[in-house]
Structure 1
Amino acid sequence: MATYVLIHGASSDSWLWHRVVPLLRAAGHDVVAPDLPISDPASGIPEYADAVVAALGDRAAADDLIVVAQSLGSFTGTVLSQRVPAKLLVFVSGMAPKEGETPGEWWGATGYTEARQASDARLGLPEGADLKVVFFHDVPKDVVEEAFERGEVQQSERAFAPPPMPALPADLPVRYVVGRDDRFFPLDFQRRTIQERLGFAPDEMDGGHLLPLARPEELVERLENYRVEAGL
């Protein structure tokens, strides 16, 4: 069995994982899914990693840690991998990090705006399409309703500021899973940036940007396969 550490992305909280957590626990795993201080204008990625370490407590030294980081959480996962002895790092619909680059520099360095505009044009999406169209198009209706009842968590811009990203530990296995129907980070964009930055192709599954909400069972199956491959 393993300890899964689930890191949410921007404008979100641990609720992102509420359909995943019970599945992992039912499989016998320990799960830690903290709320990061994303609304605090004084907190950036290092402070997010601090919050994860604090939530782990004594488990921060465990030898069975699997870090799973979604979207902007990829940067927190990268910093965390320098802080705890993770045995596996999994990016989910993530932002492929690059050593020496800040999260704010990521958008321009990857050519995101141009890629997104081209994707929106192919899909026929209107300029400035709303959250439901971009993020929740494949999420079950009842989950969407709950998400909008809860409201969006305010995201501080401090997360995109320096310090720049460290290198991933050379001996840390890294996996990357993306949704084929992701409208926020289009598939062809993800294929290119992950290959360029991390040197391998991502694993693909059906679904959009919010895989933990839209397809928790398939995502957990992927995570469990990665765990077995890593010998955990």
Structure 2
Amino acid sequence: MATYVLVPGADGTAWYWHLVAPLLRERGHHVVTLDLPSRDTATLDDFAEAITAAVRAEVPSGAPGPEAPLVVVAQSLGGFSAPLVCGRLPVDRLVLVNAMVPVPGESAGEWWGNVGQAQAREQYAEALGRTGTDAEFDPRTDFFHDVPPALTEEAFAGEPSGPPPAVFAQPWPLAAWPDVPTRFLQGRGDRFFPLEFQRRLARERLGLDVEELPGGHLLALSRPRELVDALVQSA
């Protein structure tokens, strides 16, 4: 058994993991999910504190013990906040899922230009035969293209939200990536962070190879069972 802490991406909601969490529990694992702070002034440190508080509320000791490792899973933008938790809790594993990988002092706002994300996305769109206005970013096309229609409509039914602006302005505060075993899971059909782009990023910034999974950017919605199969290997 392990305790899985599921950190959402830019939408900041526990709902993103609502298909994955019960599948992990069915396999006997403990799961912690949370909504991240949404106020405009919330920072990466506020995110990390919220994640830490959620774990401590579920596991008062702060960790389930050596027989039940603490695994922190970070989706997309969660790659900026999840590593900060390692200085606050005894994390045994970090698992990145289609994630952003920062370097010390780099803000989430700077990351896009520093790594060439826009060019990588445009080149992949062209490779898929998307040209002109069809190649422009659209959340339904880039994020939800392989998510079941009913889930897509559920996601778009609420009030649109995004991460607080302060999250993109704060320089990443760690001096180095945490000394914690890390895995990098990547959807091979991700249109937003294409596979080859992520291969390069993981290699250059973490010295890791990505582990391919079927599906796009939102694996927890489009391929929850395949994602859970991969996650349990971290326990």
Q: Which residue of 2 aligns with 1:180?
A: 188
Matches within 5 A, 1:78-97: 78-97=83-102
Query: 3-state DSSP class of the match of 1:60?
Result: coil
Q: Which residue of 2 aligns with 1:158?
A: 166
- Offset of 1:34 from its aligned partner? 0.7
How many angstroms apart in 2 are the aligned matches of 1:139 and 1:73? 20
- The partner residue of 2:109 within 93, 97, 104 is 104
Would you say the 8 A contact 2:185–2:212 is kept in 1? yes
RMSD: 1.4
Indicate how the Cα distance of structure 1 residues 59 and 161 shifts in structure 2: closer, same or farther if over 3 A, else same.
farther
Q: How many pairs were matched up?
A: 225
Unaligned runs of 5+ in 1: 228-232
Q: Which residue of 1 aligns with 2:128?
A: 123
- Deviating above 4 A after TM superposition, structure 1's stretches of 4 or more consecutive aligned residues are none
- Between 1:81-90 and 1:138-147, the stretch displaced more is 138-147
Instruction: Among all aligned residue pairs of Structure 1 and Structure 2, give the percentage whose two residues are the same amino acid.
Output: 46
How many angstroms apart in 1 are the aligned matches of 2:49 and 2:192? 28
How many angstroms apart in 1 are the aligned matches of 2:138 and 2:172? 31
Query: 3-state DSSP class of the match of 2:109?
Result: helix
- Offset of 1:220 from its aligned partner? 0.4
- Offset of 1:41 from its aligned partner? 1.1
Q: Which residue of 2 aligns with 1:213?
A: 221
How many angstroms apart in 2 are the aligned matches of 1:61 and 1:205? 29
Q: Which residue of 1 aligns with 2:54?
A: 55
How many angstroms apart in 1 are the aligned matches of 2:10 and 2:61? 25
Q: Which residue of 1 aligns with 2:74?
A: 69
Alignment-mate amino acid for residue 154 of structure 1: G
Alignment-mate amino acid for residue 158 of structure 1: A
How many angstroms apart in 1 are the aligned matches of 2:61 and 2:72? 12
Indicate how the Cα distance of structure 1 residues 141 and 179 shifts in structure 2: closer, same or farther if over 3 A, else same.
same
How many angstroms apart in 2 are the aligned matches of 1:27 and 1:68? 17
- Offset of 1:177 from its aligned partner? 0.3
TM-score, structure 2 length as denominator? Answer: 0.91
Alignment-mate amino acid for residue 220 of structure 2: P
CA deviation map 1:114-161 (0-9, x unaligned): 212211222233243421111001111221121122343232211111
CA deviation map 1:59-104 (0-9, x unaligned): 5244321000000011111111121110000000000222332222
Unaligned runs of 5+ in 2: none
Q: Which residue of 2 aligns with 1:192?
A: 200
How many angstroms apart in 2 are the aligned matches of 1:22 and 1:61? 20
TM-score, structure 1 length as denominator? Answer: 0.92
